[in-house]
Amino acid sequence: MTREEAMAKCAFLGLGVMGYPMAGHLAAAGHDVTVFNRTFSKAEAWEKEHGGAAAATPSKAAEGADFVMACVGNDDDLRSVCLGENGAFASMKAGSVFVDHTTVSAAVTRELYAAADSVNVSFVDAPISGGQAGAENGQLSIMCGGDQGAFDRAEPIMQSYSKICRRIGESGAGQMTKMCNQIAIAGLVQGLSEALHFANKAGLDGRAVVEVISQGAAGSWQMANRYETMLDDKFEHGFAVDWMRKDLGICLASADEIAASLPVTALVDQFYKDVQKMGGGRWDTSSLFKRLQSI
């Protein structure tokens, strides 16, 4: 491990439920961390808890940094923290690396990869999976796209909050892999919801059913971690429906671009739309079960 990797100067842009603990893991690993958040009081709270520094703009946060990490909301949010006089690219030093943990379109990733390259900055798309618990416990799965050299430099830094971190391919490959992740989750949650709904209608004990079927081919992370809260009608334990619909929208748009067929994903996206109409935009994704129970 190089001296830069052992003690890097880092910036972290975006302190939501994922970014706040991720930046904390960087500080705990011994890195010099400056944070930015659109609501500055959140950055001040992070600074008070973890040390480091809070900056008023992405540009100020990124000054002199070896690595700049971002975890914001969507394509436009990412552009806003990268571009313009207050954006990170305006002040990042030549040879530094920007690592984007936001789930965004591959198109904006490639756009910002080119913009970063024009100022001699490397750009790695590195979306994450593992939810809030994974961020808090430093156990995220990170799927990356970008130049091999930039990934090799950034990967030791990302180890502070990951259990697995892999480069899948060139710029945009990380985001396309995250789409595979969301496609798989959508189908799994709908399948689990239907199984529990069927058990309920058949007069079976859902917990007893899961105890048996989870030990066979039907078992999954979703089943192990969500079936009890689903049966208890509790849906504040994970990734929100509003965010899942944003991601599935990217999946479906990308599928059109590459001529992929996603009929189940399109259907589940509409089911999540139903959940939003029920007032469940902030419920976690397992609320597909609640939709079925209401029919």
Rounded distance, CA 193 to CA 292, Å? 7
pLDDT at position 237 is 84
Backbone angles phi, psi at 217, to 5 degrees: -65, -20
Q: What's the whole-number mean pLDDT along residues 123-131?
A: 96
The question of whether 60 is a catalytic residue gets the answer no
The single residue of 9, 48, 163, 178 carrying the catalytic annotation is 178
Q: Please, are residues 76 and 105 in contact by the beta-carbon 8 Å criterion?
A: no
Rounded distance, CA 118 to CA 245, Å? 33
Q: Model pTM?
A: 0.93
pLDDT at position 5 is 52
Percentage of the residues of the chain whose pLDDT score is greater than 70? 98
2 pLDDT above the threshold of 90: no
pLDDT digits (tens, 9 = 90+) for 150-198: 999 999 999 999 999 999 999 999 999 999 999 999 999 999 999 999 9
Rounded distance, CA 57 to CA 86, Å? 6
Mean pLDDT of the chain: 96
The pLDDT-based confidence of 1 (bands split at 50, 70, 90) is: very low
pLDDT digits (tens, 9 = 90+) for 58-117: 999 999 999 999 999 999 999 999 999 999 999 999 999 999 999 999 999 999 999 999
Burial of 259 (0-12, 13-18, 19+ CB in 10 A): exposed
The pLDDT-based confidence of 238 (bands split at 50, 70, 90) is: confident
20 pLDDT above the threshold of 60: yes
Percentage of the residues of the chain whose pLDDT score is greater than 90? 95
